[in-house]
Amino acid sequence: MSSEKRIAQPEAPIPGAVRYDCPHMSQSCNCNRIIMATLTMFTRLVSLQGAHTRLLELPCNDPPLVKYDGFFYADQSYTYDLLIIGGGSGGLAAAKEAVGLNAKVAVLDYVTPSPLGTTWGLGGTCVNVGCIPKKLMHQAALLGEAIHEAATFGWQLPDPKTVKINWELLKTAVQNHVKSVNWVIRVELRTKKVEYFNALGHFKDAHTVIGVTKKGEEKILTARNILIAVGGRPRYPDIPGALEYGISSDDIFSLERAPGKTLIIGAGYIGLECAGFLNGLGYDVTIITRTIVLRGLDQQMVNLVIEEMEQRGVHFIYQAKPKKITKQEDGRLLVDWVDKDGEIHQDVYDTVLFAIGRRVLTEELKPENAGLKLVSETGKIEAINEQTNVPNIYAVGDVLHKRPQLTPVAVHAGKLLARRLFGNSTETMDYTNIPTTLFSPLEYGCVGLSEETAIMVHGEEQIEIYHAYYKPTEFFVPQKDVDRCCVKIVALRYDDQRVLGMHFVGPNAGEVIQGFAAAIKCGLTIPKLKSTVGIHPTVAEEFTRIFITKRSGLDPKPQSCCS
Ligand code: FAD
């Protein structure tokens, strides 16, 4: 076993420590010097010597050995090598990776009920109130669309217009799946010997976390390294009635009653996706937005998505904000909102869903007890290679400042961190070229730079934009609107026309973009893309057929399907 495997992280020696030369030095074990800090630890060292063979058999962290100034330290002062606050995407990925490298790991996870009282199991946002239930509801909406199309392909159905969603059945199916995932995660943690505490954690000091259980019992846990992976929760506006009557994405996937006529406040990706599936399920949906929709993403493509949603019946109210919500006698919600000219408007809804952004749960950690600094405006954590300003405290996932808030980002960063802490790895997380998809009815997938960002960074003269509209074969028979199916490539004009960004609006956008994201990682160029043979007839092949640049002024509308 290599000595490097035993390194948790460099740390100052414990005061009063005595360096000890291990008499059991051997070829296979490089831990030739061990320092013990206290008499208790010395006793422990004696037994350690006696069990030296065992030490060799158990590769690292039994006891954890820490390298400092070229020497190794036996450290018995902490219960865990890694204590993780937050059992979501990032925390669980780090936990599983770390135990695989023989670290002693504990995870604390606790869900504070939403203002409506919704709560859920282990696994974090993605599993319970994020990606997974969202994708299932999106799928339910797509199936509804498919039922209507099926008749045009010859399926003999009862009048498709009479086909309706049963919210109760949908919600139950989605929640059953979520609960099965909660169960699998718990079993996996138990099998892998990750200790799990259903407790709300906060710092006592930089190495100590107090976990408070639902019953109010306190658990004091110490660890050499602490990982913050607490994610965030939806924000509510400070207006009358918001907390009493509003809901958020935390509630919608388990809502006991059908949402009915819904007002969504906020046009970020969560607002748009919820609007998309609710509209697809047959509910009347309105979005109120104050600012530009999805700033940061390619605006041409975002506008196509919005146009498509409007065409499908989602109402958009721009530059407006809600003022108050009151409950009428019939139980419905009367919403007042104010437009950009200060004029007040009103309408009645069955559901008001806030999607105005998320607040990270770092204040609750009592970061000051550990000396941990937060970014003042957002409460997020600024970290270099996931290491915070406190050297033994790390952070991954949504809590990180200026990092994409996506599950695979949290997972990847968590895994790489565990490998650096407990394995030999030096690999760090690359936060560039992260692909993502907006699961709007007509999906938008992208990777890399938007047209706006590329121009801002490199200058208009240095950027070539390729674009094309296309007709998915499967849209012809049901005569679906193809006007907004569009692909776009952002490339450099020099450097062999290296591709900086790829954008796709159309069916299965996530599936399409995933492969191209790998190609961009490999340094994809326009000539390489043009020499790639497409798979026909697919929508992804449109990227291999693209040749019209914006600069040329040629019409990017499709001429035929197979030329
Ligand atoms: P989380 O997964 O949020 O986990 C944090 C956990 O820590 C939670 O269980 C929380 O309750 C717990 N916790 C918080 N404070 C404490 C404490 N003090 N003590 C103990 N436990 C605590 N991402 C995608 O990649 N694709 C998608 O399609 C997608 N869709 C989404 C849809 C919605 C509606 C939402 C809300 C999010 C979506 N996301 C999506 C984002 C994704 O869910 C997050 O980026 C991801 O879950 C972040 O992981 P995390 O580990 O940082 O935190």
Pocket test for ligand 1, best of 83, 96, 110, 131 (most atoms within 8 A of CB): 131
Cβ proximity of 254 and 175 under 8 Å = yes
Of the chain, the percentage scoring pLDDT greater than 70 comes to 86
Question: Which stretch of 61-65, 251-255, 474-478 has the lowest confidence by average pLDDT?
Answer: 61-65
Say yes or no to pLDDT of 21 above 50. no
**Which pLDDT value is given to residue 296?**
83
Question: Which stretch of 148-157, 511-520, 529-538 has the lowest confidence by average pLDDT?
Answer: 148-157
Please identify, by atom number, the ligand 1 atom nearest to the C-alpha of residue 408: 25
Say yes or no to pLDDT of 259 above 50. yes
Strands across the sheet containing 351-354: 247-248, 351-354, 262-265, 285-289, 315-318
Domain span(s) for CATH 3.30.390.30 in the chain: 442-552
Question: If you measure from the C-alpha of residue 415 to the centroid of ligand 1, how many angstroms do you get, rounded to a whole number?
Answer: 16
Burial class (CB in 10 A: 0-12, 13-18, 19+), 62: middle
Ligand 1 pocket, 509 CB below 6 A? no
Question: If you measure from the C-alpha of residue 360 to the centroid of ligand 1, how many angstroms do you get, rounded to a whole number?
Answer: 10
Beta-carbon count within 10 A of 104 CB: 22
Average pLDDT, integer, range 480-500: 96
**Binding site as annotated, residues for NAD(+):** 266-273, 357
Residue 301 backbone dihedrals phi, psi, to 5 degrees: -70, -40
Say yes or no to pLDDT of 281 above 90. yes
**Binding site as annotated, residues:** 135, 201, 266-273, 357, 398
Beta-carbon count within 10 A of 396 CB: 33
What's the DSSP call for residue 542? H
Average pLDDT, integer, range 426-446: 97
Beta-carbon count within 10 A of 24 CB: 16
Please identify, by atom number, the ligand 1 atom nearest to the C-alpha of residue 111: 11
Ligand 1 pocket, 271 CB below 6 A? no
**Which pLDDT value is given to residue 561?**
59
Say yes or no to pLDDT of 9 above 50. no
Q: How far apart are CA 113 and CA 517, in angstroms?
A: 37
**Which pLDDT value is given to residue 544?**
96
Ligand 1 pocket, 381 CB below 6 A? no
Catalytic residue among 24, 315, 401, 536: 536
Say yes or no to pLDDT of 493 above 50. yes
Pocket test for ligand 1, best of 96, 138, 209, 230 (most atoms within 8 A of CB): 230
Q: Could you give the maximum distance between any two Cα atoms of the chain, in Å?
A: 84
Nearest CA to ligand 1 atom 32: 130
Pocket test for ligand 1, best of 122, 126, 128, 252 (most atoms within 8 A of CB): 126
Say yes or no to pLDDT of 291 above 90. no
Q: How far apart are CA 89 and CA 127, in angstroms?
A: 8
Alpha carbon 137 to its chain's center: 18
Ligand 1 pocket, 388 CB below 6 A? no
Average pLDDT, integer, range 224-243: 98
**Which pLDDT value is given to residue 48?**
41
**Which pLDDT value is given to residue 330?**
97
More confident residue, 277 or 17: 277
Question: Which stretch of 151-160, 175-184, 198-207 has the lowest confidence by average pLDDT?
Answer: 151-160
Query: To 10 degrees, the CA torsion angle through 49, 51, 53, 56?
Result: -80
Nearest CA to ligand 1 atom 29: 131
| Domain 442-552 CATH superfamily | FAD/NAD-linked reductase, C-terminal dimerisation domain (3.30.390.30)
Question: If you measure from the C-alpha of residue 124 to the centroid of ligand 1, how many angstroms do you get, rounded to a whole number?
Answer: 5
Q: How far apart are CA 96 and CA 78, in angstroms?
A: 20
Average pLDDT, integer, range 550-559: 90
Point out which residues pair with 33 in neighbouring strands. Answer: 21
**Which pLDDT value is given to residue 294?**
87
Q: Which of 367, 404, 422 is nearest to 389 (CA)?
A: 367
**Which pLDDT value is given to residue 558?**
80
Question: If you measure from the C-alpha of residue 197 to the centroid of ligand 1, how many angstroms do you get, rounded to a whole number?
Answer: 18
Question: If you measure from the C-alpha of residue 1 to the centroid of ligand 1, how many angstroms do you get, rounded to a whole number?
Answer: 37
- Strand positions, DSSP E, 244-343: 247-248, 262-265, 285-289, 315-318, 321-327, 333-338
CA angle 429, 434, 440 (to 5 degrees): 145
Name every residue whose Cβ is closer than 8 Å to that of residue 289 and which is 6 or more positions away in sequence: 266, 267, 271, 316, 317, 318, 319, 320
Ligand 1 pocket, 134 CB below 6 A? yes
**Which pLDDT value is given to residue 63?**
47
CATH class for the domain made up of 78-235+357-434: alpha beta
Ligand 1 pocket, 407 CB below 6 A? yes
What's the DSSP call for residue 382? -
**Which pLDDT value is given to residue 159?**
83
Ligand 1 pocket, 60 CB below 6 A? no
Ligand 1 pocket, 63 CB below 6 A? no
Of the chain, the percentage scoring pLDDT greater than 90 comes to 82
Question: Which stretch of 16-20, 102-106, 341-345, 366-370 has the lowest confidence by average pLDDT?
Answer: 16-20
Say yes or no to pLDDT of 463 above 70. yes
**Which pLDDT value is given to residue 185?**
98
**Which pLDDT value is given to residue 161?**
78
- Find the helix or strand (DSSP H, E) in which 185 lies: helix 167-192
Domain span(s) for CATH 3.50.50.60 in the chain: 78-235+357-434, 238-356
**Which pLDDT value is given to residue 76?**
57
Question: If you measure from the C-alpha of residue 368 to the centroid of ligand 1, how many angstroms do you get, rounded to a whole number?
Answer: 23
Say yes or no to pLDDT of 494 above 80. yes
Residue 202: active-site member: no
Which option is the CATH number for 238-356: 3.50.30.10, 3.40.720.10, 3.50.50.60, 3.20.20.70?
A: 3.50.50.60
**Which pLDDT value is given to residue 488?**
98
**Which pLDDT value is given to residue 295?**
81
Q: Which of 207, 129, 209 is nearest to 174 (CA)?
A: 129
Question: If you measure from the C-alpha of residue 401 to the centroid of ligand 1, how many angstroms do you get, rounded to a whole number?
Answer: 15
Ligand 1 pocket, 367 CB below 6 A? no
Please identify, by atom number, the ligand 1 atom nearest to the C-alpha of residue 123: 9
Amino acid at 325: I
**Binding site as annotated, residues for FAD:** 135, 201, 398
Point out which residues pair with 220 in neighbouring strands. Answer: 210
Confidence category of residue 559, pLDDT binned at 50, 70, 90: low
Confidence category of residue 158, pLDDT binned at 50, 70, 90: confident
Average pLDDT, integer, range 402-422: 98
More confident residue, 153 or 28: 153
Q: What mean pLDDT value characterizes the chain?
A: 89
**Which pLDDT value is given to residue 30?**
39
More confident residue, 498 or 32: 498
Nearest CA to ligand 1 atom 21: 109
Average pLDDT, integer, range 525-533: 97
Name every residue whose Cβ is closer than 8 Å to that of residue 108 and which is 6 or more positions away in sequence: 83, 84, 85, 86, 87, 196, 197, 198, 199, 200, 201, 209, 211, 221
**Which pLDDT value is given to residue 71?**
52
Q: Determine if the peptide bond prior to 115 is cis (ω within 30°).
A: no
Q: What burial letters (b/e) apply to 341-368, b meaning 16+ CB within 10 Å? A: eeeeeeeebbbbbbbbebebbbeebebe
Confidence category of residue 321, pLDDT binned at 50, 70, 90: very high
Ligand 1 pocket, 443 CB below 6 A? no
Q: Determine if the peptide bond prior to 537 is cis (ω within 30°).
A: yes
Question: Which stretch of 146-150, 260-264, 381-385 has the lowest confidence by average pLDDT?
Answer: 146-150
Average pLDDT, integer, range 174-199: 98
**Which pLDDT value is given to residue 69?**
52
Q: How far apart are CA 496 and CA 527, in angstroms?
A: 8
Confidence category of residue 337, pLDDT binned at 50, 70, 90: very high
Going from the C-alpha of 417 to that of each of 167, 173, 222, 244, 407, the distances in angstroms are: 41, 35, 19, 41, 15
Beta-carbon count within 10 A of 192 CB: 13
Question: If you measure from the C-alpha of residue 86 to the centroid of ligand 1, how many angstroms do you get, rounded to a whole number?
Answer: 9
Ligand 1 pocket, 107 CB below 6 A? no
Ligand 1 pocket, 128 CB below 6 A? no
Cβ proximity of 60 and 100 under 8 Å = no
**Which pLDDT value is given to residue 4?**
37
**Which pLDDT value is given to residue 16?**
36
Average pLDDT, integer, range 347-362: 98
Confidence category of residue 292, pLDDT binned at 50, 70, 90: confident
More confident residue, 332 or 7: 332
Average pLDDT, integer, range 47-67: 37
**Which pLDDT value is given to residue 293?**
76
Say yes or no to pLDDT of 62 above 90. no
DSSP labels, 423-435: SS-------SS--
